[in-house]
Amino acid sequence: MNKITIAIDGFSSTGKSTLAKQLAKKLEYVYVDTGAMYRAVTLYAMQNGFVNEGHVDTKGLLNDLDKIQLKFVFNSDMGFAEMFLNGKNVEREIRTLDVSKNVSQVAEIKEVRSKLVSLQQDMGKDKGVVMDGRDIGTVVFPNAELKIFMTASPEKRAVRRYKELLDRGEVVKYEDILENVQKRDYIDSHRENSPLTKAKNAIEFDNSDMGLEQQFERIYEHTLRVIEKNK
């Protein structure tokens, strides 16, 4: 089967990663979670004193940028790749609310985006990849054969994130999650470098009132049509 590049963009907690994993598994494609990469850099910044009360020491972080080594390692038991930061598995640490509160500020730094975009483009150079993030269809792979832009109401997304964090054992409040979702939406869509925006030729997919199975079936059927068209 002819392989294509699939770019999935959208706001936080819209289910991008869940859909991307499902598609990659079904198509036997490589899955790349670009959000995990930005979260890992954010975790490094937090661990090394470059984040203080929401303020990022950009100069300090950039001085250390070459020291940050990121790698995805496939976990056969879990069925997906986990993020390693400088040789350490940080998959759990990067999913916390504390990281979520700071990742948008780190991700808007031009040099950070440049480093990670280059890595992402290298990962997907041979096609057969499903990549999700904020600027995949607009910056990383503007010529992707299939571009999907996912959205849902802030309230729906906050509920999803709230349940996810509770399942991981974190003590959180729904109100804090909703505030974080809305703040990230604003920062992601208003930043100077690679703002979150729907690519002109992307299909928009609102899953506010849609189950995971229904969502996957609709997108998978469309994906097969795109693959057939690009033979």
Is 84 flagged in the annotation as binding?
A: no
| Alpha-carbon dihedral sign for residues 111, 24, 196, 148 | positive
Q: What are phi and psi of 136, to 5 degrees?
A: -70, -50
Q: Is the separation of the CB atoms in 66 and 111 below 8 Å?
A: no
At position 177, the amino acid (one-letter code) is: I
| Alpha-carbon dihedral sign for residues 228, 196, 68, 20 | negative
Question: What is the maximal distance between C-alpha atoms in the chain?
Answer: 51
d(CA 60, CA 180): 25
- Compute the residue count for the chain: 231
Is 216 flagged in the annotation as binding?
A: no
Is 5 flagged in the annotation as binding?
A: no
From start to end of 165-228, where are the E strands?
A: 203-206
Is 100 flagged in the annotation as binding?
A: no
Is 147 flagged in the annotation as binding?
A: no
d(CA 103, CA 56): 10
Q: Using DSSP bridges, classify how beta strands 80-85 and 51-52 pair: parallel, antiparallel or unpaired.
A: unpaired
Is 10 flagged in the annotation as binding?
A: yes
Is 49 flagged in the annotation as binding?
A: no
Structure tokens at 160: 């999803």
For residue 119, list its beta bridge partners.
none
Q: Which residues are annotated as a binding site for ATP?
A: 10-18
Residues of each annotated binding site: 10-18
